[in-house]
Amino acid sequence: MKGSLELTRVAIVGLGLMGGSLAAALKERNACQEVWGIARRKETIDEALQRGFIDKGTCKLANGVKGADVVVLATPVRVIIELIHELSPLLPSGCLLMDMGSTKREVIKAMGALPPHIQPLGGHPMCGKETSGLAAAEANLYEGAIFVLTPLPRTSQEALDLAKELVKAVGARPLVVEAERHDRLVAAISHLPYLLSLALVMTAEEVAAEDDLVWKLAASGFRDTSRLAASGVTMMLDVLVTNREAVEEMLARFRGQMDRLEKALKLGEEKRLRRLIESARRQRTEQLRGATR
């Protein structure tokens, strides 16, 4: 394995928002020797080349990873898992294979079956937008974001260090977290909000069936709270399906908290309601104070 990022050729599989932005950031900062792109559609490769995000590109996986020092999988989680199996006989010896999927347990499990000459490592940058695709990609997407890394027991220190160098090179902050712990925590702060956002839109839709003025009155509050409902469908479906248990745990906890609020409101326990609201407001303000995005 090449120990220094600047000497590596980085192949990125999937040039959507995340992969495209990673390519753009690596190129803009001149962080590695070359950036290669692999995408399903020829038009995506052409756009990435034209925007200067990659040095070369191909639609053929085998060609795209040949001679690569680092391969980054940037597709929906279940495609990542398929790609790991598919890449198993194709990856060069000593290659670092990492991913940027939103759940980690099943990815890590698939990585565990790779031949020993490959260095696998899970990754998940805690950033994004509700718009997907290469058109939305931008070089500063990772700026200031936490980038979770989930090494396997077999992952060498050298491979982890190279991944950390890559993460820092695009402006993000590496944070090593165990895969199961990661999945449970993102169920609370990412997958639960997504489901709430969907169910909120579905509720408004239900009300709109009786009175469609409801959409006209929707202002910034509704817009913010429902923003995640605009996320990429396939990406989020993969997330939910590969993290079902943790998501169900968080839904149950959420119901419990909603019940506390509703009970206080229903019983006219105003002091209790005010305490709950004040505490949540304080928590939100204090805990998100330092967050950059």
Window 141 to 200, contacts with a second copy (CB under 8 A): 145-146, 148, 175, 177, 181-182, 184-186, 188-190, 192-200
| Residue of the chain from 6, 46, 82, 278 that contacts a second copy (CB under 8 A) | 278
What's the helix, strand, coil split of the chain in %, to 5? 55, 15, 35
Asked whether 125 and 18 are in contact (CB, 8 A), the reply is yes
Q: Cβ neighbours of residue 288 under 8 Å, at least 6 residues apart?
A: none
Nearest distance from C-beta of residue 181 to a second copy, angstroms: 7
| Residue of the chain from 7, 135, 176, 233 that contacts a second copy (CB under 8 A) | 233
Q: Does 209 bind a second copy (CB under 8 A)?
A: no
> Distance between CA 148 and CA 172 in Å, rounded?
10
Q: Rounded to whole angstroms, what are the CA distances from 91 to 84, 87, 114, 117, 287? A: 10, 6, 10, 9, 42
Task: Indicate the residue among 11 and 236 with the shorter CB distance to a second copy.
Answer: 236
CB atoms within 10 A of CB 69: 20
Task: Indicate the residue among 7 and 267 with the shorter CB distance to a second copy.
Answer: 267
Task: Indicate the residue among 42 and 263 with the shorter CB distance to a second copy.
Answer: 263
Nearest distance from C-beta of residue 223 to a second copy, angstroms: 6
Nearest distance from C-beta of residue 115 to a second copy, angstroms: 31
Nearest distance from C-beta of residue 246 to a second copy, angstroms: 10
- As to burial, measured by CB atoms within 10 angstroms (0-12 exposed, 13-18 middle, 19+ buried), residue 191 is buried
Among 123, 112, 104, 213, residue whose Cα is nearest residue 162: 123
Specify the stretch interacting with a second copy by CB under 8 A; choose among 1-9, 41-49, 106-114, 206-214: 206-214
Asked whether 73 and 101 are in contact (CB, 8 A), the reply is yes
Task: Indicate the residue among 2 and 227 with the shorter CB distance to a second copy.
Answer: 227
Residues 25-84 that bind a second copy (CB under 8 A): none
210-229 footprint of a second copy as x/- string (CB under 8 A): -x-xxxxxxxxxxxxxxxxx
Asked whether 54 and 23 are in contact (CB, 8 A), the reply is yes
